[in-house]
Amino acid sequence: MESYWNHHKHFIKGFAITMAITLVVGVFGTQTGDFMASVLDLEKPAPFDGTALPIEKVPDWANLKNGESSLLAAQLPLDKIVALPNYDPIIFGTVVADLNWSIDKALANKLVTYAVPYMGSYENNSKEYEGSHLGVDIKIPIGTPVHAIANGKVVKVAQASGGFGKHIVIEHPDVPLLNGNETVTLYSAYAHLSEIAVENGQIVTRGELIGASGSTGTSTTPHLHFQIDRDNAPWHPWWPFSSAEASAAGLNFFDGVSAGLNQTQAIANTINPMLWVQRYLATDVVAIPAKMHASETTPIEEAVETEEEVAKITEIETPVATETVADTTGEIEIPAEVVEPEAEIAVEETTQPEDSTEVAEENQESMTNDQEPIEAIFTDLNSDHPNAKAIAYLKENEIVGGYTDGSFQPDKTVSRVEALKMILLGLNIELQPMLDLGFPDTSNQQWYASFVGTAVNKEIAKGYPDGTFGPGNTVNRAEYLKILLASARIAPDSATEKPYEDVAVDAWFAPFANYSKLKNIFPISGSLFSGTKGVTRAEVAETLYRLIVLRETGAASYSADLEI
């Protein structure tokens, strides 16, 4: 007997433990389901082999007719469906209502699709790092197929009536971070679903169908809230603040997000989900096709296509901007784990301009280029434009280009990465490939990677104190002049007097403003520099051209009669 025990004691103990667990399940029922899954389910997901997009197809928002924006996914005609646009941080900051929809259709689709970007706010300004929204809201009709972004294990399936609504969390062990230098465990979350097609404990592969999008929980419009948590987040999906913290700050929930409440913790506990997916996107993903038209509906799509649910989907309204008001009326109803109300994106179908030839207004800031009449350079820029000479030179030397419609949009403000590209190309600075940009809000898979990497390596530009780079942030005059002169290896002396009425002699950018004034690089009409004003494409072209002329001619200051 003793010999039998010694040989079989491990089996007997394991059997006894299993029976005990079974007994507990029998007594307490489904409450122990999650525990049983963690104890008995020893299956592991396949090793990381790349990523897949959570959503494959979206509506062609810019070309929808009246009423089509409220259709279910299965009701949209094929010619009104496009591939999910690339998530590109440089486009954020443009307000949808300010777009010329007839010209900027591709941009409009991006901004509408990514209703609230990573670390965005509910102010509908499409700008990253303006708030503490730690996921990306992808605007899609109810019934759009949702896919697992990578191999993993489903660790949470919830049917909440509020907050995230119906949602799924998938654990992804041993996956690389954006820098590719270390592997970690990440958790992807998919919220506000209409249907769930997986179970807790289930092993999934990248591209696998896991559910359908909806508007369940605290949501104002159909969309997918897509989020990726780091392993150090206290729970999944995590949220950066509670009702008590919002109340203590004198904010309601929406204002808390827009004010960036606990943004530092949000950045520490999450990663930019779309940048991560795009960084490791696999080219050989075989996924269940997303059937988003009336002739081919999936069982999931048929399940949500009821008269009751169709009635709930109304025409998308343009939200009215409201002031941030402190909520002192009582406790904000936020579940202990998370609440995720979503801002409604402005898609005003009736306000799309019909005239596709609309062009930007003339630059209010006059620049003094004396020039001979020349042929039209772009569809919206004629020879009488004050910056035509500079823009023509940069275009001829392939330093600047136009948009797909042939326009230049001279009055459009530029982002940090757009300015860097024009400056580095204009000054003929050799670009350096960078595998790791070192910022959580940049990706080495984006077009700007070599420009950002070169600028950082050559100490032309650097990140912000919070560790981000802000690639899509509008660059203002003060910052732009610093970058421009640093690129040209010009270190101006300190100003001895105020160069402009609004520039103090000890201001950090006073040396750059003073040098620019002495050399006539950035022409200013009047006595104000307006350092916080965003720089336009025309201004970048003009100032860059003038600096090139000064370098080529050796002149003391720029004048219109100088030639190169």
pLDDT of residue 558: 94
* 467 conformational bin, left if phi > 0, alpha if psi -120 to 50, beta if neither: left
Task: Give pLDDT, residue 316.
Answer: 27
* Greater pLDDT, 129 or 45: 45
Residue 553's pLDDT band, with cuts at 50, 70 and 90, is: very high
pLDDT at 433: 66
Using an 8 Å Cβ cutoff, are 431 and 465 in contact? no
In tens, the pLDDT along 234-248 reads 999 988 887 778 778
Query: DSSP secondary-structure letter at 137?
Result: E
DSSP letters of 40-58?
H----PPPP--B--S--EE
- Residues 147-156: what's their mean pLDDT? 96
Q: What is the mean pLDDT of residues 420-437?
A: 83
Lowest-pLDDT range, 55-64, 319-328, 500-509?
319-328
N-term to C-term CA, the chain:
102
Q: How confident is the model at residue 106 (pLDDT cuts 50, 70, 90)?
A: confident
Distance CA 261, CA 544 (A): 39
What would the pLDDT profile of 15-37 be if each residue is shown by its tens digit? 444 344 334 334 334 344 444 44
pLDDT of 100 > 80? The answer is no
DSSP 404: T
Q: What is the pLDDT of residues 211-241, one digit of tens each?
A: 999 999 888 889 999 999 999 999 999 888 8
Q: Which long-range contacts (CB under 8 A, 24 or more apart) does 74-79 make?
A: 74/143, 74/291, 74/292, 74/293, 74/294, 74/296, 74/297, 74/298, 74/301, 74/302, 74/305, 75/141, 75/293, 75/294, 75/305, 76/141, 76/292, 76/293, 76/294, 77/293, 77/294, 78/293
Reference 408, options 420, 397, 394; nearest CA is 394
Confidence of residue 484 (pLDDT cuts 50, 70, 90): very high
DSSP per-residue letters across 164-198: T-EEEEEEEEEEE-TTSS-EEEEEEEEEEEEEE--
Alpha carbon distance 223, 116 (integer Å) = 10
In terms of Cα–Cα distance, which of 44, 33, 30, 39 is closest to 202?
44
Give the pLDDT of residue 122: 80
Tell me if residue 227 falls in helix, strand or coil.
Answer: strand
pLDDT band for position 328 (cuts 50, 70, 90): very low
What local confidence, expressed as pLDDT, does residue 272 receive?
92
Dihedral of alpha carbons 302, 308, 313, 315, sign:
positive
Q: Are 253 and 340 in contact (CB under 8 A)?
A: no
Which parts of 56-182 are beta strand (E)? 57-59, 81-83, 114-116, 136-139, 145-147, 152-159, 166-176
Q: Do residues 107 and 91 lie in contact, with contact meaning Cβ atoms separated by under 8 Å?
A: yes
pLDDT digits (tens, 9 = 90+) for 168-194: 999 999 999 887 778 999 999 999 999
Could you give the 3-state DSSP secondary structure of residue 144?
coil
Mean pLDDT score across all residues of the chain: 75
Average pLDDT over residues 391-416: 87
In whole angstroms, what is the distance from residue 335 CA to residue 160 CA? 10
Least confident range of 198-202, 363-367, 376-380, 437-441:
363-367
Checking if the pLDDT of 151 tops 90, the result is yes
pTM: 0.50
**In b/e form, how buried is each residue of 440-468, taking b as 16+ CB within 10 angstroms?**
bbbbbebebbbbbbbbbeeebbebeeeeb
Averaged pLDDT for residues 302-311: 33
pLDDT greater at residue 441 or residue 532: 532
With 0-12 / 13-18 / 19 or more C-beta atoms within 10 angstroms meaning exposed / middle / buried, residue 19 is exposed
pLDDT of 563 > 70? The answer is: yes
pLDDT tens column, 348-371: 333 333 333 333 333 333 344 444
Q: Rounded mean pLDDT of 49-73?
A: 89
The interaxial angle of helices 537-553 and 477-487, nearest 10 deg, is 30
Chain segment 486-541, per-residue pLDDT in tens: 999 999 999 999 999 999 999 999 999 999 999 999 988 889 999 999 999 999 99
Please state, in angstroms and rounded to a whole number, the distance separating the CA atoms of residues 392 and 372: 12
The DSSP string of 408-470 is --TT-B-BHHHHHHHHHHHTTPPP---S----TT--TTSTTHHHHHHHHHTTS----TTS---
Q: For residue 112, how many C-alpha atoms fall within 13 Å in the half-sphere facing its CB?
A: 28
* pLDDT > 90: percent of the chain: 37
Instruction: Reply yes or no on whether the pLDDT at 342 is more than 50.
Output: no
* Rounded CA separation 177/49 (Å): 14
Q: What is the pLDDT of residue 322?
A: 28
Cα(272)–Cα(135) distance, rounded to whole angstroms? 7
pLDDT score recorded for residue 435: 55
Q: Has residue 396 got a pLDDT over 70?
A: yes
- DSSP alpha helix (H) spans, 29-104: 33-40
Residue 324 — pLDDT band, cuts 50, 70, 90? very low
CB atoms within 10 A of CB 368: 13
At residue 254, the 3 state secondary structure works out as: helix
* pLDDT score at 434: 60
| CA 444 – CA 324 distance, rounded (Å) | 37
What is the dihedral sign for C-alpha 41, 42, 45, 46?
A: negative
Neighbours of 44 (CB within 10 A): 11
Per the structure block, which two tokens stand in for 89? 């941080």
Does the pLDDT value for residue 312 go beyond 90?
A: no
Residue 36 φ then ψ, to 5°:
-60, -40
Q: Which pLDDT belongs to residue 336?
A: 30
Distance from C-alpha of 179 to C-alpha of 439, rounded to nearest angstrom: 9
Q: Which residues contact 49 (CB under 8 A, 6 or more apart)?
A: 151, 206, 282
pLDDT reported for residue 301:
34
The residue among 335 and 205 whose pLDDT is bigger is 205
Q: Is the pLDDT of residue 545 over 70?
A: yes
Q: What is the pLDDT of residue 93?
A: 56
Q: What is the rounded average pLDDT of the residues 457-465?
A: 88
Side chain identity at residue 376, one-letter code:
A
Residue 555 predicted with pLDDT over 70: yes
Place of tokens 């996956």: 175
CA-to-CA dists, residue 151 to 44, 188, 250, 281, angstroms:
10, 11, 42, 13
Q: Once rounded to an integer, what is the mean pLDDT over residues 274-298? A: 56
Structure tokens at 318: 């343009």
